[in-house]
């Protein structure tokens, strides 16, 4: 069976856990999420331990995918812990492969059908929708998420050590930790404004996904090269592809739901960098 572990396995519960958990569970997003899980026969507590602050944070950042149409399979956990768990889930979800130029892109079948329909509509208007970053624009493996995590984690350790904000011994300790524990420690450092994004200006979660938490593992995410074109974004939206990860500009998530219905499933619009994102409404 796929992994059902969450960061709670490596993290301690936050001091204000009861109040924070209660607030989260009363949010429009969680109310919708709870209903979505129950319709799928899933137990929310088995997907994410809401007593854990990191689990709540990951749901708030990436959790829109769990509200996708029931024609799709959603992950059984908010964080996969192994390659085996990811592979088993992806096999169960089904994989549809299509060529975009020289690149082979893989998504869940319903998601791919919607993407190809969006490409056809765009082409009729003289527009293109192509992958950004090659095959990695869609399906990813657990190893891919570890590699991408390290591409931010390691340079940030060097950066803050060079600036004298982090002791060399502490950086070495962080490197020795398991990925789930690294995530907990990084988020704690970011509370002190020691950020781990590519330019060290914002949270690492706005730069790469936590290991095992990427929406790309669900086969429901696609990075679009033409993300800056408003009409391309509009075409994708008409076919159920929406931007659900704040500040990840090329990243689109397939929900299979019309934009006008997104508030009804617990998402809210925010504007950033000239684009509109639909993120979990946890306030």
Predicted confidence pLDDT, tens digits, the chain (283 residues)? 334 444 434 444 444 556 777 777 889 999 999 999 999 999 888 898 888 999 999 999 999 999 999 999 999 999 999 999 999 999 999 999 999 999 999 999 999 999 999 999 999 999 999 999 999 999 999 999 999 999 999 999 999 999 999 999 999 999 999 999 999 999 999 999 999 999 999 999 999 999 999 999 999 999 999 999 999 999 999 999 999 999 899 999 999 999 999 999 999 999 999 999 999 999 7
DSSP string across 207-244: TSPPTT--GGGGT-EEEBTTTT-HHHHHHHHHTTEE--
Alpha-carbon distance of 51 to 40, in angstroms, equals 22
122/22 same-domain check: yes
Element (H, E) at 37: helix 28-39
Q: Which of 241, 264, 265 lies closest to 251 in space, CA to CA?
A: 241
Last residue in a domain, options 151, 173, 206 = 206
Tell me the residue range of the domain where 122 lies: 1-140+214-283
39/157 same-domain check: no
- What was the pLDDT predicted at 6? 42
- What was the pLDDT predicted at 18? 64
96/4 same-domain check: yes
Last residue in a domain, options 206, 228, 253 = 206
Alpha-carbon distance of 68 to 139, in angstroms, equals 17
4/105 same-domain check: yes
Residue 64: which residues within 8 A CB-CB, separation 6 or more?
A: 242, 244, 245, 253, 255, 267, 278, 279, 280
46/95 same-domain check: yes
Beta-strand pair 241-242/251-254: antiparallel
109/149 same-domain check: no
Q: Which of 117, 115, 32, 110 lies closest to 71 in space, CA to CA?
A: 110
188/59 same-domain check: no
262/161 same-domain check: no
Alpha-carbon distance of 266 to 262, in angstroms, equals 7
Alpha-carbon distance of 117 to 124, in angstroms, equals 11
- What was the pLDDT predicted at 7? 44
107/152 same-domain check: no
109/119 same-domain check: yes
Number of structural domains (the chain) is 2
Give me 88's structure tokens.
Answer: 């088993």
Last residue in a domain, options 180, 206, 232 = 206
CB-side exposure of 57: number of CA atoms within 13 Å? Answer: 20
């Amino acid at each position: 069976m796929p992994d059902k572990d969450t960061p709670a396995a490596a993290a301690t519960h936050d001091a204000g856990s009861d109040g924070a958990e209660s607030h989260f569970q009363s949010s429009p997003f969680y109310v919708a999420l709870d209903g979505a899980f129950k319709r799928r026969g899933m137990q929310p507590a088995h997907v994410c331990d809401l007593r854990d602050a990191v689990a709540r944070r990951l749901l708030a950042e990436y959790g829109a995918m769990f509200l996708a149409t029931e024609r799709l399979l959603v992950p059984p956990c908010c964080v996969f812990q192994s390659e085996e768990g990811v592979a088993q889930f992806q096999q169960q979800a089904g994989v549809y492969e299509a060529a975009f130029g020289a690149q082979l892109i893989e998504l869940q079948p319903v998601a791919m059908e919607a993407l190809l329909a969006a490409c056809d509509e765009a082409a009729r208007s003289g527009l293109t929708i192509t992958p950004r970053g090659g095959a990695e624009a869609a399906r990813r493996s657990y190893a891919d998420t570890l590699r991408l995590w390290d591409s931010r984690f390691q340079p940030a350790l060097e950066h803050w050590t060079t600036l004298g904000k982090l002791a060399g011994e502490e950086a070495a300790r962080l490197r020795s930790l398991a990925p789930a524990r690294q995530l907990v420690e990084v988020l704690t450092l970011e509370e002190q404004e020691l950020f781990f994004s590519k330019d060290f200006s914002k949270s690492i979660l706005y730069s790469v996904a936590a290991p095992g938490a990427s929406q790309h593992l669900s086969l429901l995410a696609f990075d679009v090269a033409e993300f800056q074109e408003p009409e391309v974004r509009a075409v994708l939206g008409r076919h159920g592809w929406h931007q659900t990860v704040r500040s990840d500009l090329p990243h689109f998530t397939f929900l299979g739901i019309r934009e006008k219905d997104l508030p009804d499933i617990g998402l809210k619009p925010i504007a950033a960098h000239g684009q509109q994102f639909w993120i979990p409404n946890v306030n």
